[in-house]
Amino acid sequence: MIRLGFIGCGGIARAHLTALDRLSDRVSVAAFFDANRAQAVDLAGGRKDVVVTDQVDSLWASGLDAVLITVPNRYHAAYSEEAARRGLAIFCEKPLGVSVADATGMVAAVERASVVNLVGFKNRYFRAIETLRHVLDEQMLGPLFAYREVCSGARLANPNIGMEWRMIETIAGAGAVADFGSHSIDMALWLLVPHTGPLVSLDSRLATFITRDGSYPSNDDMAVLSGRFASGALFSVLNGRVGPGLYQVEVYGLKGRALVDMTQPDVLNLIGYGGEKITAPALPERKFEDPLLIQMARFVDAVATKTPIEPDFSTALSVQRWIEVARSSAD
Ligand X SMILES: NC(=O)c1ccc[n+]([C@@H]2O[C@H](COP(=O)([O-])OP(=O)(O)OC[C@H]3O[C@@H](n4cnc5c(N)ncnc54)[C@H](O)[C@@H]3O)[C@@H](O)[C@H]2O)c1
Q: Quick one: 13 or 144, whose CB is closer to ligand X?
A: 13
- Pairwise CA distance, residues 43 & 313, whole Å: 26
To the nearest 10 degrees (0 to 180), the angle between helices 181-196 and 313-329 is 110
CB of residue 92 to ligand X, shortest distance in Å: 8
CB of residue 144 to ligand X, shortest distance in Å: 26
Binders of ligand X among residues 63 to 102 (CB under 6 A) are 70-73, 75, 93-94
Q: Quick one: 51 or 140, whose CB is closer to ligand X?
A: 51
Residue 230, Ramachandran bin (φ over 0: left; ψ between -120 and 50: alpha; else beta):
alpha
Q: Quick one: 39 or 239, whose CB is closer to ligand X?
A: 39
CA distances from 161 to 72, 164, 213, 241, 329 (A): 17, 7, 11, 12, 30
Q: CB nearest ligand X: which residue?
A: 10
Q: Quick one: 103 or 140, whose CB is closer to ligand X?
A: 103
Binders of ligand X among residues 113 to 152 (CB under 6 A) are 120, 122
Binders of ligand X among residues 199 to 218 (CB under 6 A) are none
DSSP state of 166: G
User: Which are the contacts of 322, defined by CB distance < 8 A and separation ≥ 6?
Assistant: 185, 189, 199, 202
- Pairwise CA distance, residues 267 & 131, whole Å: 9
- Pairwise CA distance, residues 167 & 77, whole Å: 19
Q: Quick one: 13 or 30, whose CB is closer to ligand X?
A: 13
CB of residue 184 to ligand X, shortest distance in Å: 12
Mask of contacts with ligand X, 269-308, x by CB under 6 A? ----------------------------------------
Interface with ligand X (CB under 6 A), residue total 20
CB of residue 178 to ligand X, shortest distance in Å: 8
Q: Which of 28, 35, 145, 265 binds ligand X (CB under 6 A)?
A: 35
**φ, ψ at 197 (rounded to 5°):** 80, 180
- Residue 9 binding ligand X, by CB under 6 A: yes
CA distances from 146 to 40, 124, 273 (A): 44, 19, 15
CB of residue 70 to ligand X, shortest distance in Å: 5
Measured over the CA atoms of residue 302, residue 306, residue 307 and residue 310, the dihedral's sign is positive
CB of residue 31 to ligand X, shortest distance in Å: 12
Residues near ligand X (CB under 6 A)? 8-13, 34-36, 39, 70-73, 75, 93-94, 120, 122, 179
